[in-house]
Amino acid sequence: MTNWKIVIVAGLVVGLLASCASTRKSAPAPAATPSRSTLDESFDPLSLNDDDITFPREANTRQQWQEKQAASNQAKKPNVLVNGFRVQLMATKEMQTAELIKREAMEKFVPDSINVYVEFDSPYYKIRICDCKTRDEAERVKQLAIERGYRQAWIVRTRVWSNPPRQEVPLPAQSENP
């Protein structure tokens, strides 16, 4: 019985080797190239009577650009998130309400260079103002918010921008009727 098993295993090995040896991948057929006789090479671009285009060259253009870049890089400070404080005006679950309050707050605070943010912290949209690095600065902004009608304003510790961009007050929508 063991001879019978050896014969079967040997037959399977021979069959496997035979099937692997006969498989061959065929190479793709070469793409047809047009014959040399069908190409028209009679066109000579030098025979055209057109004007050459010349561009005036500024002296030291690259050097001037590098000087401008160096000056602007010195003036710019990196804008990164740091630990700080913001004054929260309110929190709501409605996005439309949050956007409306943000627009109202921008009208009241952006002229004083105080940025307004809407931060989503599920399920609330939080309207916050300013990027204060110290608690004292946040206290002054909180008093300003209370004076401007946000009596429930409070200070929150959060990440703030080290060099925040200045926001512009959006223009109100104009009606079509004059």
pLDDT tens-digit map of 72-99: 665 667 888 999 999 999 999 999 999 9
Residue-level pLDDT at 154: 96
The stretches in the chain having pLDDT less than 70 are 1, 20-37, 57-61, 70-76, 168-178
Residue-level pLDDT at 24: 59
Residue-level pLDDT at 60: 64
Give the residue from 115, 139, 137, 111 showing the smallest Cα distance to 128.
115
Residue-level pLDDT at 169: 62
Cβ partners under 8 Å of residue 164, min gap 6: 79, 115, 131
Euclidean distance between CA atoms 15 and 20, whole angstroms: 9
Euclidean distance between CA atoms 91 and 117, whole angstroms: 12
Euclidean distance between CA atoms 161 and 80, whole angstroms: 6
Residue-level pLDDT at 178: 46
Residue-level pLDDT at 145: 95
**Cα separations (Å) of 90 from 42, 131, 143?**
78, 16, 15
Identity of the residue numbered 136: D
Residue-level pLDDT at 1: 59
Residue-level pLDDT at 65: 72
CATH number, domain 87-161, options 3.30.70, 1.20.120, 3.30.1460, 3.30.1920:
3.30.70
Query: For residue 161, what are its two tokens?
Result: 């921008």
How many CB atoms within 10 Å of residue 35? Answer: 7
84: β partners:
158
**Cα separations (Å) of 56 from 53, 59, 61, 62?**
10, 10, 12, 15
163 and 110 in contact (C-beta within 8 Å)? no
Residue 163 DSSP one-character state: S
